[in-house]
Amino acid sequence: MNDESDRDKEGSKESIKIADMIKRVVSVGVGAAFMTEDSVKALLAELPLPKDIINGLVQNAKGAKEEFMDSIQAEIRRHLSSIDPKQYLDEIVNNYEFEIDATVRLNKRATSGPTKKKSQEKKKR
């Protein structure tokens, strides 16, 4: 009976390890869209998985990242194509007052050599 309970404990420890490994792989899969390829490899290297599985997961992560970025680009493009800039500018011009505060300073340049005028006078001689 004692042997049986020891086996059950070992089996449950083994299943916990497998469950933790699956959780990490899934979390890497979800977070891979926001990670570099090297960071995905480093994270997966900690897991006791064969290299071909790690390479497959890295490729899937890369594909998921590209697909995610493509969908974001398409959504932004779709949204921007529906915007009429003339309408927004008309709304701004008609509904808002413009107030511009500006400071303009003309500072004399520090002369480190002959000025342009002096160099032109030398050429005339």
| Residues 64, 30: Cα–Cα separation, whole Å | 9
CA distance 125 to 122: 5
> Domain tally for the chain?
1
From residue 104, give the alpha-carbon distance in Å to each of 99, 107, 109, 110.
Answer: 16, 10, 15, 18
Note whether residue 107 is domain-resident: no
Q: Flag whether pLDDT at 95 surpasses 70.
A: yes
Q: Is residue 20 part of a domain?
A: yes
Q: What is the mean pLDDT of the chain?
A: 74
- The sign of the dihedral angle between the CA atoms of 14, 15, 20, 21 is positive
Residue 59 is assigned to a structural domain of this protein: yes
* The two three-digit tokens of residue 115, written as one number: 């000025």
Between 3-12, 31-40, 63-72, 111-120, the lowest mean confidence (pLDDT) is in 3-12
Residue 124 lies in a domain: no
> Does residue 56 fall inside a structural domain?
yes
Could you tell me what percent of the chain has a pLDDT over 70?
60
How does pLDDT run across 49-69, given as a tens digit for each residue?
777 877 777 777 777 778 878
Nearest Cα to Cα of residue 65 among 92, 100, 38: 38
Does residue 24 form part of some domain? yes
Question: Residue 54 is part of which domain span?
Answer: 2-95
Confirm whether pTM is higher than 0.95: no
The answer to whether residue 25 is domain-embedded is yes
Among candidate residues 65, 73, 71, 56, the one with its CA nearest the CA of residue 36: 65
Tokens read off for 69: 């970025």
Residue 16, pLDDT score: 61
Helix (H) or strand (E) holding 119: helix 116-124
Mean pLDDT to the nearest integer, 15-32: 64
**Predicted pLDDT at 25:** 62
CA–CA distance, 1 with 7 (Å, rounded to integer): 10
